[in-house]
Each structure stands twice: as C-alpha cells, then as structure tokens.
Structure 1
C-alpha cells in the first residue's frame, strides 16, 4: 500500500524544521503543480507557498517532456519563491534546489546522490529526480518530481530509478518532503543574503557532470561535444571542445558520454 500524504502531518513535520514556508496544500490530482503555482503567482500569492500532488495529469519536465509517475509513488511538488537577488542570478535556483535535495536525501534516506547539470539528481548513474524552474513575473516557481517507491516495471524510461530501487533507508514521503523543504529554506536564505557562490560550490562538490565528456544539444538544434570543466557564477556549464576553446552553455540537453564515445 502506498500511504497518501496527510497535509496536517506534513505541515507539523515541516513547522518543526523551518518557519520559512507560508502555505502547504496537498491535492489528489492536478495537471501540473508548476502551472498551478504560476497562476497563483500571477494573482499575488506570497513567497513560501507549496503545492504537492499525489498524481499529475500533465506533468512537464525540461524541453516540454512529459513527467509521469503512478499515484502516491513519488513526490511531485512545486514551491513559489520571490527572490531579492538580481534576476540574472535566478538561473542558479535549479542548482540550489538540487543541492538541497541531495543533502536531504543523504541525511534522511542514507543514499548518496550525484548532480547532473542542469537539474537532475542521479542515484547509481540513473535519474531519480528532475527539477524545473520557471520565472513568472517577479516570482520563480520551482518544481521537483522525485521517484520514491516506483518499481523497475513502473519506471518511465530505463535510465530512471527510484529511492526504493536504490535501497533507501526510508520511503516515508512526509519525512522526505519536510527534510527537503527545510533544506531548501536554509540554502535559499544563504543564497539571498550572500549570492549564489556557496550554492555553486556545493553543487560542484557533488557533481556527476564536471570532468566528464558530454554531448550538448542546444534548443536551436546545434550540437557540441567536449569535457565539462566548470560552472560559472550564473550557473552556466563550461565545456572545453577538442580544439581547446571553452564554450559557456546556458541552456541545453546534456548526455554523459563514456570514454569510447
């Protein structure tokens, strides 16, 4: 049995860990938690609003890919931020969210995730979570889809995994969600006060991308291959091509290549 989330239990757990969050809703099904919070942001919803759906009918990942998960098998959630840093630094909020989730999963579930640029969490080289941040006026909506109890047969693609498959010490979604949101709040406070440098350094330490040969597919159809050598101050990936030139990648689809590729 996959236990449904109890909003009151979750709010109680979260309130013990953080006083940042202002509102938390749990719905049985929705089209997209990001779309719902984007609409709320347009109507003036305050920072700190969280929405969790037991099931998404029209979940969306990067490049408009569909994100599918069985009901109550994962954590499908979005939260609303209104950053005080300059807008050109908002792109690092995906890295911030990845760092917070990596730290929460390590603490609560006993697993050791790695971070794939720009917004994936990997366990044993397979994707356990995707993150999608979008700007809505003066707000940023950040969504995360974490596979918790999915079996191998339920995975949407062979490259995916779940906490259950990876042998996590707990699959309690309320405990995981509360820890994740508490970590987000703590990292976000530092980010707002000091800028993104600390987030970027924490991301670098747990990166699965840096040092790897990668293939980059740009939104305009162009391709690039080379070694991922760094992350700049705005969260862009730096890729060294074979001719020695280093290109800064702000947006693109990244594939980790094996040495023989």
Structure 2
C-alpha cells in the first residue's frame, strides 16, 4: 500500500479477519509508526515498513522470544545487501551497522497471534533525538535495492528462522543470536523500574532470553525489558 498509519495496526485488523501466518503487509510510508516503549518511528518514503503475523502454538517457545527470531532474520537480510560485516546485534532486538542503529522491531499481541513489525532504513537515515542512525545506502548497499526488494530477501529468511525456533527450540536461536552480538565483557548500562541506572558487563543470556548482566561486585542479574546502552 502507498501509505497507512501503521502496518502493525492494519495487521491486527487482518488478524481478526483470519489472515494466515506468513502474510506480509508493506507500506511505502507510515503516518503513525511506533517503536518500542511508544516512541515515534519516523517513516519517510524509501525505507521498509512491514508487518507479519505468527500464530502461537501450544508447543512454541514464549511468544516474546520472537524478537530474537526477527532480529536474526533482519541481521541476515542486511548482511546480504551491504559490502562489509560490521553488523551487530544488541539486546533485546537492535541491529547496529558500523555502530549505528538501522532497524526497529516491535512485537504486539493480537489474540492467539503475535504481530511482528519491522522497519529498516534502506534509503534514508531519519534524524532521531538522542540517537545516531544509518541506512543501507549509507553503508554501501547497491542503490537499486528498494524496500520491496529487501522484503523479498527478508521474508524467506524469517520463515526459516521461525521454523528453527519451533523445531530446534529457543536455545538454538539464542545461540545464533549470541554469535552475532557484542562480546562477553562489553560494558552495558540500563535502568530499573524506578529509572535508576544499572551498570555492568554483558555475560550472555539466560535460558529465557533475559540479558545476563554482571555488576561490579560480581553479582549476576537478569534484565527482562528496557533499553540497553554501551558503556
């Protein structure tokens, strides 16, 4: 479609109408795109704005862990289109290229399904307050790469990752994620529910995907949600 408020919102409507897993919805532009924690997601023409639907099954891993599936799929799709390998996953579902944010992933529940919204900067790196971002074009991608072409790369990769998530289990997905993430010992900071800063070192992931953070006193704590920053 040419323009919509939000592909995630549209996909929720389609989910109620019975659209099947594997369907992708893409818009050229969004007027009301939303990122994690309710932040506005800038949506200029030229970038990818899309959503898909995953129907939750009783034997599936926790639905929230689909964020790792999505991040791995986007990481692989980006890797197919840029001429260098400085592509890093940052917990929980950021993809950084040359140290800069290039993608947004938002999961939302809808009945027995999860809507997976993905935005990737293809042609434009919109200015974001407090953040420095990049785009595929800035990172050397062929200028013939369009949002539609990128989705053609992404969709089958996502399907393969989703199948692995179901068949091999979450542990296999988390192992792949950690191979592509910041190294153990990387200094990270986050905040608790009261906004108090927490500093520590990245020490891997817990079995459920929670961030394992080692504090200065050696204590290991689990971070289940929130923003994480380097340093």
Same fold (TM over 0.5): yes
Q: Which runs of 5+ in 1 are unaligned?
A: 1-26
CA distance in 1, matches of 2:7, 2:70: 16
CA distance in 1, matches of 2:198, 2:149: 41
Contact persistence 1:74–1:150 (CA under 8 A): yes
Contact persistence 1:126–1:159 (CA under 8 A): yes
Within 5 Å, give how 1:217-228 maps onto structure 2: 217-228=191-202
Q: Which runs of 5+ in 2 are unaligned?
A: none
Equivalent position of 1:5 in the other structure: none
Q: CA deviation at 1:231?
A: 1.1
Does residue 30 in structure 1 map to residue 4 in structure 2? Answer: yes
Equivalent position of 1:162 in the other structure: 135
Contact persistence 1:120–1:130 (CA under 8 A): yes
CA distance in 2, matches of 1:209, 1:52: 34
CA distance in 2, matches of 1:79, 1:89: 17
Judge which range, 79-88 or 239-248, deviates more: 79-88
Does residue 80 in structure 1 map to residue 56 in structure 2? Answer: no
Q: CA deviation at 1:88?
A: 5.9
Contact persistence 1:128–1:146 (CA under 8 A): yes
Residue 218 to residue 65, structure 1, CA distance change in 2 (3 Å) = farther
Within 5 Å, give how 1:56-95 maps onto structure 2: 56-71=30-45, 73-84=46-57, 86=59, 89-95=62-68
For residues 89-136 of structure 1, give each alpha carbon's deviation from its aligned partner in whole angstroms, at most 9, with x where no partner exists: 222111111111111221233342211111111101000001111122
Judge which range, 123-132 or 188-197, deviates more: 188-197
Does residue 177 in structure 1 map to residue 151 in structure 2? Answer: yes
Contact persistence 2:69–2:158 (CA under 8 A): yes
Q: Which runs of 4+ in 1 moved over 3 A?
A: 85-88, 108-111, 154-158
Q: Secondary structure at the match of 2:80?
A: helix
Contact persistence 1:116–1:209 (CA under 8 A): no
Residue 174 to residue 210, structure 1, CA distance change in 2 (3 Å) = farther
CA distance in 1, matches of 2:186, 2:113: 34
